[in-house]
Each structure stands twice: as C-alpha cells, then as structure tokens.
C-alpha cells in the first residue's frame, strides 16, 4: 500500500471510541419507536430448489439494539448471509422465500411493506456492505455517481449538495484528494479503497443499521484491519447499528458487543463477546474457537478443524443439527432438537442438551 493510499482517519484511542459510542448510542436512541432497532422473530427463509426445500434460515430470532454491533458468526452455508438478505428483503425470489416470522425494523414490519416502501428503506435506513468490493461496484459508472446514487434516490438534495456530500463521505472513509477522485472509475481504485467506497455508499444516507456481509473476506489482512477500524469508527460516530456477518471469530471478538453463533440455519448460541469467548456453552462454538490458529502453535502441526461438513438443509430431522460432528453427542441429541435456553443470569443462551443444567457437561 503506497503512502497515497493510507487512510487519513484520525487515530482514536479506545476511550475516545467508547465515549463517542456511548454518546452516539444515546443519540441513536432518541425518537426510537421500539425497544430494539431490529427485532427478528422466528424468521424462516427457504429455497425451493428442484432437489427439495432448503431451509437455509430456520426459526431465527434475535435483536439488534440502537447503535449496537451484533456479530453473526458461523462457517460457510449456515445461513448468515441469507439472514442479512432477508432483513433487507433481497433474497432472490425465486427460488428463495421468507416463509415465516417477522422482522421489525425501528417499529416497522419489514415483511409487510410493499416493494416501493421497501425500496425507500433500503439504502436510506439500512445500508449494506458486500463481501467483494471488486465486483460490487459497477465498472462503467464513476465512483462519484455510485456514491451519490443513494443520496439522489433518497434524500432529494440538489445536484450540488449531493456532490458536496459525496466528497465529504469519500474523505470520511479515508480517500485522499476526494474531490478529484469522484470522476474516477472503480478500476482505478485498489481493493481496499473500493471497500472504503462501499462503506461510503452504505453510510451515504445516515442509515440506522448497516448489514456488513463479510466486509473484509476479500481483502488482505492489513487492509482488513483498516476497514474494520473504519467501520467501527464511523458507526460509533454516526450511532449506526451494525450487523457484522463473519466467519472470523477474531473480527467478532474485536468489533461486536454481542455475538450470535449460527449453525445449519439456526442460532445455536448467543451472548456477549466475553461470555462467548470465555465460556462457550455449545460444542460447535468450542470447535470454532479451537480451530483458530494460535501464535503458540507448533510449526508444521496441522490446523485443528471440526470434522465433517454442515448438513444439507433439506428436511432436517428433529435432532441437534450438529450431532453428527459432535464428539459429545448422546442418544438424546439424535432424537430431539434442543431449544435455545438460558445459560446464566444475562442473555447468554445455547442450544445444546449437554450444557443444559441436567446435561452431561458442566
């Protein structure tokens, strides 16, 4: 990364971020219409394929508070992205369909909105950051146009005001010489810069919620850190809530207030970052934590993995979905699916027979 690429964001201390965050969260809560910004209840999104109905997201419930950062963690194909797409009602239909549940966004029932009203919500109230910045920008339109698009669509500003705001956003996400770069095309930007542009687009209308779908997966590690910091700083500054989807537990630990672990279309554990990392109550979460490479690993040793693959989500049996891969599984795990139940005085919950009070793992 050359010097010109370096972000111009002011480095904030952890305290600064925390203070800004507290203030912003307080501000974000002003005029709130509900207890939580986002309340997802019993969401089920199925894909109707020739092979059968794939229950990609099955009875998922969670809340995102105003200004909160919630992590959604799990391996590929466990329904994280589909959950996010469902919230923005962007699930490709056909074959996908939200079959059950409700999504309350700032008191609005998202699933009952007509397509026009839904479009007014997207981009304005709900921003989206996609995984691959290289393909998420239109190669034939200028950066300036693409950032201004949502502003033009939703805010009804004059052409001049739109441009001013675009420049402001572009410099906010740390692109130097923002004004000159408006007329550039995406291919003139590096991957990291393009993801900055995507963040600028997501933030362009001051959304209340940002759905960040693996925003750093396509980037190399140094750029990852910058992008995550940028998301963190800006979401604190604007009081934006973030639903951070990632398969990287390190990212979840560093950024999120609370974390949901998803497996096979279900939430299998939920809790604060501390609870989850210090005392995970579900073997899948242990497996995920255990498969993180550690600095004291002996060179040449194989990385630890969870044996097997996530199950196909066509007609899942009434059993714990993780049981075929779980070393602690007993008969009950194969006979009945556990409920998501409490594991402590706070909101820590897990879906596991073994860690229930009468279970076999203390």
Partner 1 sequence: MATETLRGGIAKPRPSASLWRDAFGRLRKNKLAMVGLVLVGFVGFIAIFGSILAPYNYQDQDLTAVVANKGQPLPPLTGGHILGTDQIGRDLLSRLMDGARISMSVAIVVQIVVICIGVPIGAMAGWFGGRTDNILMRFTDVMYAFPDLLFIILLTVVFKQTPFGQAMDGLLLVFVAIGLTTWVTVGRLVRGQMLALKETEFVEAARAIGVSDRKIVTRHLLPNGIGPIIVAITLGIPAAILAEATLAYIGIGVQAPRASWGSLINDGQAVIRSSPWLTFFPAVCIAVALISFTFVGDGLRDALDPKLKGKQ
Residue among 153 and 341 whose Cβ is closer to partner 1: 153
128 lies in the site for partner 1, by CB under 8 A: yes
* Helix%, strand%, coil% for the chain, nearest 5: 35, 20, 40
The binder of partner 1 chosen from 38, 150, 170, 288 (CB under 8 A): 150
Question: Nearest approach, Cβ of 234 to partner 1 (angstroms)?
Answer: 17
Among 8, 22, 49, 138, binds partner 1 (CB under 8 A): 138
Does the protein bind partner 1 through residue 184 (CB under 8 A)? Answer: yes
Q: Is 323 in the site for partner 1 (CB under 8 A)?
A: no
CA torsion through residues 69, 73, 76, 78, sign:
negative
Span of 101-109, 177-185, 242-250, 266-274 interacting with partner 1 by CB under 8 A: 177-185
- The three-class DSSP label of residue 170 is helix
CA nearest 191: which of 130, 255, 245? Answer: 130
Assess 185 for contact with partner 1 (CB under 8 A). yes
**Cβ 141 to partner 1, closest distance in Å?**
7
Angle between helices 159-172 and 191-203 (to 10 degrees): 130
Residue 124 engages partner 1 in binding (rule: CB under 8 A) = yes
Of 101, 108, 97, 88, nearest in space to 37 by CA: 108
Q: Nearest to residue 175, comparing CAs of 199, 153, 151, 158?
A: 199
Q: Does 182 bind partner 1 (CB under 8 A)?
A: no
291 contacts partner 1 (rule: CB under 8 A): no
Number of residues that bind partner 1 (CB under 8 A): 32
Residues 83-112 that bind partner 1 (CB under 8 A): 88, 90, 94
Is residue 49 at the binding interface for partner 1, with CB under 8 A as the rule? no
The verdict on 149 binding partner 1 (CB under 8 A) reads yes
Task: Show the site string, 194-213: x = touches partner 1 by CB under 8 A, - = not.
Answer: ----x--xx-x---------
Counting beta carbons within 10 angstroms of the beta carbon of residue 6, is it exposed (0 to 12), middle (13 to 18) or buried (19 or more)?
Answer: exposed
CB under 8 A: which stretch of 113-121, 262-270, 284-292, 320-328 binds partner 1? 113-121
Kindly list the distances between the CA atom of residue 359 and the CA atoms of 80, 112, 262, 346, in Å, as whole numbers in the listed order.
28, 41, 21, 20
119 lines the binding site for partner 1 (CB under 8 A): yes
Q: Which stretch binds partner 1 (CB under 8 A): 16-24, 114-122, 265-273, 282-290?
A: 114-122
Q: Check residue 189 for interaction with partner 1 (CB under 8 A).
A: no
Rounded distance between C-alpha atoms, residue 129 and residue 124, angstroms: 13
Q: What single DSSP character describes residue 111?
A: G
Region for residue 289 given its phi and psi (left: phi exceeds 0; alpha: psi -120 to 50; beta: otherwise)? alpha
Subset of residues 2 to 31 that bind partner 1, contact rule: CB under 8 A: none
Give the separation between CA 137 and CA 320, rounded to whole angstroms: 40
Under the binding rule (CB under 8 A), the answer on residue 48 touching partner 1 is no
Among positions 8, 22, 49, 188, the unique one binding partner 1 when judged by CB under 8 A = 188
Residue 33 engages partner 1 in binding (rule: CB under 8 A): no
Q: Do the Cβ atoms of 243 and 211 come closer than 8 Å?
A: yes
Cβ(315)–Cβ(298) below 8 Å: no
Residues that bind partner 1 (CB under 8 A): 88, 90, 94, 119-124, 127-128, 130, 132, 135-141, 149-150, 153-154, 183-185, 188, 198, 201-202, 204
């Amino acid at each position: 990364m050359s010097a010109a690429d370096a972000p111009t964001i002011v480095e904030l201390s952890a305290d600064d971020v925390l203070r800004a965050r507290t203030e912003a969260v307080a501000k974000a809560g002003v005029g709130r219409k509900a207890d939580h910004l986002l309340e997802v209840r019993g969401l089920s999104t199925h894909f109707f394929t020739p092979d059968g109905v794939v229950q990609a997201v099955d009875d998922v419930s969670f809340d995102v508070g105003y200004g909160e950062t919630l992590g959604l963690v799990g391996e590929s194909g466990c329904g994280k992205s589909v959950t996010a797409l469902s919230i923005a009602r962007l699930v490709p239909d056909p074959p996908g369909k939200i079959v059950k549940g409700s999504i309350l966004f700032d008191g609005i029932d998202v699933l009952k909105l007509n397509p026009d009203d839904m479009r007014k919500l997207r981009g304005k109230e709900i921003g989206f950051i996609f995984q691959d910045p290289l393909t998420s920008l239109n190669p034939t339109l200028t950066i300036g146009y693409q950032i201004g698009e949502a502003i033009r669509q939703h805010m009804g500003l004059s052409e001049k005001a739109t441009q001013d705001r675009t420049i402001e956003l572009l410099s906010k996400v740390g692109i130097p010489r923002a004004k000159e770069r408006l007329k550039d095309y995406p291919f003139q930007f590096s991957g990291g810069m393009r993801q900055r542009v995507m963040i600028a687009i997501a933030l362009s209308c001051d959304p209340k919620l940002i759905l960040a779908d693996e925003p750093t997966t396509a980037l190399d590690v140094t750029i990852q850190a910058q992008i995550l910091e940028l998301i963190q700083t800006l979401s604190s500054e604007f009081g934006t809530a973030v639903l951070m989807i990632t398969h990287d537990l390190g990212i979840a630990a560093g950024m999120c207030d609370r974390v949901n672990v998803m497996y096979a279309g279900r939430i299998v554990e939920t809790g604060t970052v501390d609870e989850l990392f210090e005392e995970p109550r579900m073997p899948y979460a242990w497996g995920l934590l255990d498969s993180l490479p550690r600095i004291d690993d002996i060179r040449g040793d194989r990385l630890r993995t969870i044996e097997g693959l996530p199950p196909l989500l066509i007609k899942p049996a009434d059993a714990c979905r993780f049981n075929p891969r779980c070393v602690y599984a007993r008969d009950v795990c194969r006979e009945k699916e556990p409920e998501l139940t409490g594991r402590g005085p706070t909101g820590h919950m897990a879906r596991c027979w073994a860690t229930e009070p009468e279970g076999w793992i203390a």
